[in-house]
């Protein structure tokens, strides 16, 4: 299948390249970057040296393909949708431009009047575990935000259950790595400012909350903190129960929902140092690890992903596999590194 990547010089675009280069059913046709047009992709993504001799092209040079991945900053695809639609029957977007179903939410969370409100219902939200059947039938997928992905997957089984006390708040706190912010340099990403930080960067009103509410049907009190880590997110969520339940009941809920999922692992052991999910050992993998602990009428759920994989490119490739009828794990079999 002929596939191109728009925004290939970014961190998410680089991960798409890494995955698709070893995908058994994909030929990468073109990769765009305006800044690096004409330069080999390994000048920006040094890990790809000797994996490919491809060079970046400009968006103006794009030709027709079977599927287009778009990994541009927010608001670019929504404003230029016709151009991209003409190039490809299928589009998988990594930005926030088509994640939300209600156009009013774009006004509220992104301070923009969505230029293509009618198209919002044509995009399927990219979390395969929740929207597999819709993704099989669609042409357009909008991948979830990275923080939203891990928070939603962590909470989805328990919020579907009858155990939750909906009168009490659901609280989630994320620890985030620096690659979440993309490869654009800013004062906040300057090494002396970013290195070693534990910075509360969005204690309230994170835009991904809109996706959490949409997918979970429940408000989530979400805060995000930047920590010393390049890749990865760890989200610790607290939910309160109507009455005390046994740990085994939580096990059953999560097993029932995720047992057959190739990219979700329940991580909860009594001994060893990796007793709960930890982003470090997920680097480069498409797993979402989920663990939990019951404390009387509170359940603490811990979820971890690699933001550039399960939270972006890996999720996109998983959605492509489902959309195109490929084996779900094609191109996504990397098991991670230990020690790292
Ligand atoms: N980083 C993450 O963890 C993550 C997770 C989930 C979703 N996402 C989303 O995925 C998208 C890409 O993220 P990223 O982290 O890869 O960002 P990035 O590293 O900043 O890369 C952005 C890409 O878009 C291109 N670009 C930048 N400004 C542009 C403009 N004004 N017009 C056209 N192209 C432009 C850049 O290429 P040139 O400037 O070289 O042309 C680059 O290839 C974003 O929408 C982001 O929110 C990111």
Report pLDDT digits (tens) over 284-318: 999 999 999 999 999 999 999 999 999 999 999 99
For the record, the structure tokens of 245 come out as: 């339940």
Which of these is catalytic: 57, 143, 146, 288? 146
For each of the domains in the chain, give its residue range(s) and CATH number, in order of start: 2-144+309-324 (3.40.50.720), 146-305 (3.30.360.10)
In this structure, how many other beta carbons lie within 10 angstroms of the beta carbon of residue 232? 27
Phi-psi region of 196 (alpha: psi -120 to 50; beta: other; left: phi over 0): left
Report pLDDT digits (tens) over 250-290: 999 999 999 999 999 999 999 999 999 999 999 999 999 99
Asked whether 138 lines ligand 1 (CB < 6 A), one says no
Report pLDDT digits (tens) over 188-246: 999 999 999 999 999 999 999 999 999 999 999 999 999 999 999 999 999 999 988 89
Q: Which atom of ligand 1 lies closest to the CA of 94? A: 10
90, 142 in Cβ contact below 8 A? no
70, 110, 182: residue to mutate for ligand 1 pocket, most atoms within 8 A of CB: 182
pLDDT at position 270, please? Answer: 95
Asked whether 7 lines ligand 1 (CB < 6 A), one says yes
Q: Looking at ligand 1, which residue's alpha carbon is closest to its atom 45?
A: 95
By three-state DSSP, how is residue 248 classified? helix
Assess whether 197 carries a catalytic annotation.
no
Distance 69 CA to ligand 1 centre (A): 12
Name 240's bridge partners.
Answer: 298
**φ and ψ of 160, to 5 deg:** -80, -20
Report pLDDT digits (tens) over 67-105: 999 999 999 999 999 999 999 999 999 999 999 999 999
Please tell me which residue, 148 or 243, carries the higher pLDDT value: 148
Report pLDDT digits (tens) over 152-190: 999 999 999 999 999 999 999 999 999 999 999 999 999
Report pLDDT digits (tens) over 51-72: 999 999 999 999 999 999 999 9
pLDDT at position 244, please? Answer: 85
Asked whether 331 lines ligand 1 (CB < 6 A), one says no
79, 106 in Cβ contact below 8 A? no
pTM over 0.85: yes
Q: Looking at ligand 1, which residue's alpha carbon is closest to its atom 12?
A: 71
Cα of 181 vs its chain's centroid, Å? 13
Asked whether 208 lines ligand 1 (CB < 6 A), one says no
């Amino acid at each position: 299948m002929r596939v191109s990547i728009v925004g290939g010089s970014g961190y998410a675009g680089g991960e798409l390249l890494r995955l698709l280069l070893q995908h058994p059913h994909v030929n990468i046709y073109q990769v765009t970057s305006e800044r690096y047009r004409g330069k080999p992709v390994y000048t920006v993504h040094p890990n790809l040296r000797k994996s490919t001799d491809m060079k970046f092209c400009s968006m103006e040079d794009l030709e027709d393909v079977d599927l287009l991945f778009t990994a541009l900053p927010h608001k670019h695809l929504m404003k230029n949708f016709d151009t991209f639609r003409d190039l490809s029957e299928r589009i998988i977007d990594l930005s926030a431009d088509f994640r939300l179903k209600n156009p009013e939410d774009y006004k509220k969370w992104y301070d923009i009047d969505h230029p293509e409100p009618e198209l919002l219902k044509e995009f399927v939200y990219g979390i395969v575990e929740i929207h597999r059947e819709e993704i099989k039938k669609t042409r357009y997928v909008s991948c979830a935000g990275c923080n939203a992905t891990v928070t939603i997957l962590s909470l989805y089984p328990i919020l579907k259950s009858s155990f939750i006390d909906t009168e009490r708040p659901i609280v989630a706190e994320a620890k985030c790595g620096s690659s979440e912010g993309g490869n654009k340099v800013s004062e906040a990403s300057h090494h002396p400012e970013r290195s070693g930080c534990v910075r509360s960067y969005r204690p309230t009103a994170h835009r991904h909350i809109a996706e959490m509410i949409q997918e979970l049907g429940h408000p989530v009190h979400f805060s995000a903190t930047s920590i010393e880590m390049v890749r990865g997110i760890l989200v610790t969520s607290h939910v309160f129960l109507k009455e005390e339940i046994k740990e085994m009941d939580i096990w059953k809920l999560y097993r029932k929902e995720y047992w057959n999922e190739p990219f979700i692992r329940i991580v909860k052991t009594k001994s060893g140092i990796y007793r709960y999910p930890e982003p470090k050992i997920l680097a480069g993998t498409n797993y979402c690890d989920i663990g939990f602990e019951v404390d009387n009428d509170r359940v603490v759920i811990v979820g971890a992903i690699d933001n550039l994989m399960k939270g972006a490119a890996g999720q996109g490739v998983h959605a492509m596999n489902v959309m195109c009828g490929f084996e779900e794990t094609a191109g996504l079999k990397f098991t991670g590194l230990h020690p790292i």
